[in-house]
Structure 1
Amino acid sequence: MYFMYIDESGDPGKEIAEVGQARKGSSHYIVSGIIIPMTEWRTYLNTFVNLRRAIKQQYEIPVRLEVKGSEFINPRDNIFLKKLNRSKRIHIYQSILTDITSQMNQAKILNVVYRKENRSFGLDEDIQEDCWKFLITRFNTFLEKKGNEYGILFSDETNEPKLRGLVRKMRIYNPVPSLYSSKPRMANINQILEDPVIRKSEHSYFVQIADLIAHALYRNLYPKGSYKKYNVDCLFDILDPILLKEASKKDARGIVYV
């Protein structure tokens, strides 16, 4: 059994900000999931709790306080991170990703990216649904290759009725392009159990980890010059050893671009 904890970066709307205009929406939509083997769940939870305790001891950030990738870069709500300079905040972010990579080495990370710039959107195109379809289908393929293991989805708060309906539909009808035929093949998600479980990120360390991953990927794909001296654009590179690279043959890091 495997659990995949999921969070998003950006929004799935079709409007994005033009240069010189007020911000309408994000230039991207990213869905990231960290896949945890059930047999390692307790160990990995203890690992992260111990990491948070170490951070509390050094920086006085409470163990139960929710952490978000965006807050490490530009804290708005986290009063404890506001007390630290950017260099220290990025150092904590780096330390967390480093410990995840080294101490959760049987986990796998799956990423789906929709880059909105220079795209023409179809009237019926649904960015959120398209990205989640790819994410869920790749997770199901991962489970099949593990010997028909089963999995459960845990997601941060999102459009729960829509996601539930999508998963139920994909169990009985999930056409995907075929390499050997002009007709799509069916890739029904037989290995994923139950409806997706929606969790508030403040109550789930693993959903928080998924947030840190998604934001690190966003900063990698959309680097900002003023942050480069802190290596913010390189944060995602730390996770390379546990990326699910077989998720995409078109990208060396396994990122699925929609």
Structure 2
Amino acid sequence: MYVDESGDPGIDQYSSPHFILTSLIIHEDEWKEYLNRLKTFRKSLKEKYGLNQRTEIHASELIRIKSIDEYRDIRKTDRINILRDYCGQIPIIFNNVKIINICFKTSDFNDATKLQTTAWARLIQRYDIYLKKNVKDKGIIVADDTDANIIMQLLRKMRVYNPVNSHYSDGYYNAPVDNIIEDIFQRSSHQSYFIQTVDVIAHLLYRKEYPKGSLKKFGIEKMFTRFEPILLKEASKADDFGIVRR
């Protein structure tokens, strides 16, 4: 499972209004095929827009450039089209994957660490359940730069104690996470097409949740719905897209 964050887990006035975790679950037997498809897609972006295949895809920067200088040679409408093309290709390239999304409002928390660990706990729990029910195999987590120590401690704790609401009483029962092996592996996004893919999904979820008026002419707030065929809707039955919100 590849994971990327959108927003930050801070809770002060300068923090983002959201904290999003998005994950892409890929079976090991299909990994190479998906990589080859991504390479072919990136080659098409090179031919169509002049985007170098080694240049990182960063969704927020495609909309508003901050630090990726290579984007400055591509006009804004074409950068938005790159995002649109990527969005449309993800369900085709990754035709047999599942996406889990966690989306919290930072205003619902008064502690940044609690916000981050709660979001990660929700993601880890649902990934573990998916592995047990659908894959019946072990899995790993590969994430973009995050607070590895906090997540490592959380995952190790959940392997021993993971209280879950009981459907049959008002109490809890212990459901240890035992299908995720090792600690989280970290991978810089500029080195991984897969992490870049998750970045696109996470950012388009953000744009869906917090649409910006000046961008509505591009329809960016509607792009997330293209992922519907591969969303793990069982992650949250209370949401039409399976987005976990609490």
Q: Which range, TM-score by smaller chain? A: over 0.9
Give identity over the alignment, percent.
39
| Equivalent runs, 1:168-179 vs 2, <5 Å | 168-179=156-167
Q: For 1:124 and 1:55, locate their aligned partners in 2 and report how far apart those are by CA, in whole Å.
A: 38
Residue aligned with 2:21, SS: strand
Cross-structure match for 1:111:
101
CA spacing shift, 1:194–1:90, aligned 2, 3 Å: same
Does the CA contact (< 8 Å) of 2:49 and 2:78 recur in 1? no
CA-atom RMSD, angstroms? 1.4
| Equivalent runs, 1:1-258 vs 2, <5 Å | 4-16=1-13, 24-117=14-107, 119=108, 121-122=109-110, 126-258=114-246
CA spacing shift, 1:149–1:25, aligned 2, 3 Å: same
For structure 2, which runs of at least 5 residues remain unmatched after alignment? none
Q: Which moved more, 1:44-53 or 1:76-85?
A: 76-85
CA deviations 1:32-57 (Å, max 9, x no partner) are 00111111100000111111111112
Cross-structure match for 1:21:
none
Deviating runs (4+, > 3 A) in structure 1?
A: 121-125
For structure 1, which runs of at least 5 residues remain unmatched after alignment? 17-23
CA spacing shift, 1:29–1:123, aligned 2, 3 Å: closer
For 2:65, the aligned partner's letter is: P
Does the CA contact (< 8 Å) of 1:60 and 1:80 recur in 2? no
CA spacing shift, 1:123–1:100, aligned 2, 3 Å: closer
Q: For 1:101 and 1:71, locate their aligned partners in 2 and report how far apart those are by CA, in whole Å.
A: 22
Does the CA contact (< 8 Å) of 1:76 and 1:82 recur in 2? no
CA deviations 1:110-139 (Å, max 9, x no partner) are 00011134x3x3569710000000000000
- Displacement after TM superposition at 1:178 (Å): 1.7
Q: For 1:125 and 1:163, locate their aligned partners in 2 and report how far apart those are by CA, in whole Å.
A: 10
Number of residue pairs matched? 246
- Displacement after TM superposition at 1:74 (Å): 0.5
Q: TM-score, normalised by structure 2?
A: 0.96
